[in-house]
Structure 1
Amino acid sequence: MKIAFILGGSNYVQSLYRVTIDCADALRDQGIEVDFIFWEYPGQLKANDRYIPIFGLSKETAASKFFSKVFASILGKHIYYFLFSRFFTAQLYRAINHDKYDALFFHGQTCIPMHKGVNKNFVVVHSCKSENLLGKLKGVKRWLYRKIYQKIYGSKNLLTVSKDVTSDMLTGIGAQPLTIEEIYNGFNFERLKSEMQRPCSLTLPEAYIMSAGRPDRTKRFDLLLKAYAKTSKTYPLVIFGDGKRLNALKAQAADLGISDNVIFPGFCKDLLGTYRNAVLYVSSSDVEGLPTVIVESLISGTPVVATDAGGSNELLTGELGRWVVRRGDVDSLAKAIDDILLDPPEVSEKDVAFLDYRRVAKKYADCAHRSMERTNGQ
C-alpha cells in the first residue's frame, strides 16, 4: 500500500509535520509506504518525501510569486485558491502520478487550493474553521465566504482531530461532507520524553508557569496576562512565541504592572526542552483543534490549566477536567492557576494513552483500505 500526506505550504519544523511524523513512522513499520508532499521547499528532503513546485502556490520562483500576488490581491487569497483549484490540482496530480497512491490525506488548509482534486480521498481538519476563517468577517462577505467553505469541505471524506472540530465543521461552517469522523493526532511518547531531556538553548528561570504559541487573536495571551495579574504570582510567567501582536502584549504587561514577572523569549526552536522546568502550562485560547502543547505538557509531567477550546476537554478528562475553565473567563482562569499550584496533580502520558501513534496509525491504515475498496468497487 502507498499513501501520501499532503502538507503543501508547510515544512519540517511546523506543527503539521510534527503531529503527523510519528503516525507516518508507524505506518512504515507496517510495510505501508508513506510520502510527505510539499509545494514549498521544506528543507533537506527525508525518506521518500517529495517537493512538488506548484505554479501559483509555490514561492520559490519569481513568476509563481508574482502570479499568486496579483490574483490574491484582486480576489482575496482563499477565493483565488477556490477559483484556481483545478489548475493547482492538475499540476500536483501530474507531478506525483496520483494513480500510484492508494489514498491521499490532505492535511490542514492544503485542501482549499486542492479541493477539486480531493475526490474520494481524505481531508484532515486540524482546527475550528468557523472562527479561524470566518471570525473577523461580517455581513455579505461572511455569507459569501461561508458558502465557499461549504463548497470546499462539502461532499468530502473529512477526518477531524477532535469532537469540537467536528461540531464546528457541521454547525459553524455548515458543511455537508460525505463522511466525517475523528482521527486524533498521534504521538510517540518515548521519543518526546527523550527529546525533552535535551537542554534548552534559552536562559530561563529555574521554575515558571509557561504558555506558547503565535500571539494572534485566538491564543488570547491578553486574557492570560489579565488572569496572571490576579494570581499570587508565585512563579514568573513565560510566554513563548513571536508575531506582530507581541509588542502589544508587552505593553499590556507594563500597564498591568507585571512586567517584572512576565518573560517573552520569542520563538523557541527547542520548545520541548522548556517543559522540564515548568510547574504549570496554561492554555488561554478561544480556538484550538487538538492542542499539541497540552499533550506535550502532560507527557512531560507538567499539569495544565486550559480554557474549554477545541479538544482541551478531550485531553483533560476525569480529575484533570476540573482545571478546564470557560473561555474568556479571566477570574476563573486566575483562580484555577492559583488552586492547581497549591495541590498540583500528577500527570503523564497515561492521561493521553489514546493518542499513542500506533493506535492512530491503525486508523489511517483503515481509512486507506476503505479508499482502496471504494476504488476497486467502481
Structure 2
Amino acid sequence: MKIAFVLGGSTYQQSLYRVTYDVAEEIRRQGHQLDFIFWENPGPIKANDKYLKIFGLNKESKPSKIFSALFIAIFGKHFYYYLFSPLFLKQIKARLKSENYQAVFYQGQSCIPLHADKDEHYVVVHSCKYENFVERYSGFRKRFYKRLYKNIYSGQKLLTVSSDVLNDMVQKIGAQPDSAETIYNGFDFGRLKAEIAKPQPEGLPNSFIMAAGRPDRTKRFDILLRAYAKSKKTYPLVIFGDGKLLSQLKRLTDELDIAKDVFFPGFCNNLLPAFRQAKLYVSSSDVEGLPTVIVESLVAGTPVVATDAGGSYELLSNDLSKWVVPRGDIDALARAIDDILDNPPVVGSDTLAFLDHRRIAKRYIDLSEQLEGHQH
C-alpha cells in the first residue's frame, strides 16, 4: 500500500516531521510505502519523499513569492490559503498523479490550503485552532475566522492528536466533520531512550529545572518566571529556545531579581539528553496539542509540572495529574513546583503505552485500508 503524509509548512527539522517520523518508520517496516510530501523546501530529500514547488506556496520562486505576498497582504494568510485552495490542489494532484497513493493524510496546517480536495483523505489536526488563533481576535474578525475554520474542517474525516484538540475543533470552532477521532502522535521509546543517553549539552548546571520552546505568547515563560520567583528556587531554572520575546524574558528576570538563577542557553539541537539531567520539567503553556516535551521528559525519568493545556491531562494521568495546574495561575504553578521537588514521583514510559509507535502505526494502516476499500 502507498501512503502519503502531506506536511504543510514543515521541513525535516521541524516538529511536525519529528512527531510523525516514528510512526512513518513503523509503517514502512510493516511493508508499506510511506512518503512525506512537503510544499516547503525540507533540504536534501530522503527515500521516496517529495518536495513539490507549488506556485502560491513556494517561497523560492520570485513570481510565487510576489503572488502570495500580494494576496496575503489583501486577505490575510489563512483566507488566502482558503481562496486559492483549488489552484494549489490542482498543482499537487498533477505532480502526484502517477503515484496512485491509496491513502493521503494531510498533517497540520496543510489542510487549510488543500481543503478543497474532494477525494477520500484524512485530516490530522495537531493544535487547538480556536485557542491558538481565533481567540486572539474580537468582533467581526473573530466571527470571520471562526466561520472560516468551521468551513475548512466541516465535512472532513478528522483525526486529532489529543481529546483537547478534538473538543476545540468540534465544540469551540463548531466544525461538523464527517467523522472524528483522536489519533495520538506515536513514539519509539527505545529510540528516545538512546537519544536521551547521549552526552548532555555543555555549560549547564549539574541539576536544574527545565523548560523549552520558542519564547512566544503561547508558551507563557513569563508565567513560569513569576512562579519560579515565588517558589523555593531549589534548583536553577534553564529555559531552552530562541525567539523575539527572549529579550523581554531576560528583562523580567532582572525585575524579579532572579537573573542569577535563570539560564537561557538558546536553541539546542540535542535537547533530549538535557531531560536526563533535569530534576523537573515545567510546561507553562496556554495552548498545546499533544506536548512532545512532556513525553520526552517522562521517558527520561524526569517528573513534570504542567498547565492544563492541550493533551497534558492525557499524558499526566492518575497520580501525576495532581501536578497539572490551571493555565495562568502563578501561585498554583509555584506550589506545584515546590511540592513535586519535595515529593518527586518515579516516572517513565510505562504510563505512555498508548503512545507506542507500533500501536499508532497499526491505526494508520487500518484507516488507510478503509480509504483503499472506499476507492474500490
1:323–1:336: 8 Å Cα contact kept in structure 2? yes
Task: Give TM-score, length-normalised by structure 2.
Answer: 0.98
Normalising by structure 1, report the TM-score.
Answer: 0.98
Equivalence for 1:273? 273
Structure 2 distance, partners of 1:277, 1:173, is 40
TM-aligned CA distance change 1:369 to 1:210, over 3 Å? same
Corresponding residue of 2:170: 170
**Structure 1 residue ranges without an equivalent (≥5):** none
Aligned to 1:9: 9
Q: Which runs of 4+ in 1 moved over 3 A?
A: none
Any idea what the Cα deviations from partners look like across 1:95-142, whole Å, max 9, x if unmatched? 111760111111111100111016420110011110112121110111
Given that 2:9 and 2:109 are in contact with CA atoms closer than 8 Å, whether structure 1 keeps it comes out as no
Kept in 1, the 8 Å contact 2:201–2:274? The answer is no
Return the alpha-carbon distance in structure 1 between the equivalents of residues 93 and 272 of structure 2.
Answer: 36
| Residue 157 of structure 1, CA deviation | 0.3
Distance 2:306 2:254 in 1: 24
Q: Unaligned 5+ residue runs, structure 2?
A: none
Alignment partners' CA distance in 1, 2:67 and 2:86: 16
| Residue equivalent to 1:190 | 190
Do structure 1's residue 146 and structure 2's residue 180 form an aligned pair? Answer: no
Would the aligned equivalents of 1:111 and 1:118 in 2 still touch at CA under 8 Å? no
Question: Following the alignment from structure 1 to structure 2, what is the Cα–Cα distance between the partners of residues 337 and 135?
Answer: 29
Residue 39 of structure 1 and its aligned partner are, at CA, apart by: 1.1
The amino acid across from 1:319 in the alignment is: D
Q: Which residue in 1 is equivalent to 2:287?
A: 287
Report if aligned partners of 1:163, 1:182 keep a CA contact under 8 Å in 2: yes
After superposition, the CA RMSD in angstroms is: 1.1
CA contact (8 A) 2:290 2:312 kept: yes
For this pair of structures, how many residues does the alignment match?
376
Partners of 1:274 and 1:62 in 2: CA distance: 41
Query: Secondary structure at 2:133's aligned position in 1?
Result: helix
* 1:264 paired residue number: 264
CA distance in 2, matches of 1:222, 1:288: 16
Aligned counterpart, 1:354: 354
Distance 1:7 1:240 in 2: 25
Provide the C-alpha distance between the structure 1 equivalents of 2:137 and 2:8, rounded to a whole number of angstroms.
26
What amino acid sits opposite 1:105 in the alignment? F
Partner of 2:329 in structure 1?
Answer: 329
Give the CA deviation at 1:238.
0.6
- Give the whole-Å Cα distance in 2 for the aligned partners of 1:198 and 1:310: 29
Tell me, in whole angstroms, the C-alpha distance in 2 between the residues paired with 1:28 and 1:136: 40
Contact preservation (8 Å) 1:127, 1:288: yes
Residue in 2 aligned with 1:131? Answer: 131
Q: What do residues 31-64 of structure 1 show as CA deviations (whole Å, max 9, x unaligned)?
A: 1110000011111111111111111101111121
Tell me the equivalent position of 1:121: 121
SS of aligned partner of 2:190: helix
C-alpha displacement of 1:244: 1.1
AA at the equivalent of 2:3: I
Query: d(CA) in 1 for partners of 2:275 and 2:118?
Result: 38
Q: Structure 1, residues 248-303: CA drift from partner, whole Å, max 9, x if none?
A: 11111111111111111111111112112100000011111100000000000010
Question: What secondary structure sits across from 1:181 in the alignment?
Answer: strand
CA distance in 2, matches of 1:94, 1:195: 40
Partner of 1:179: 179
Q: d(CA) in 1 for partners of 2:212 and 2:351?
A: 21
Q: Distance in 2 between matches of 1:137 and 1:119?
A: 33
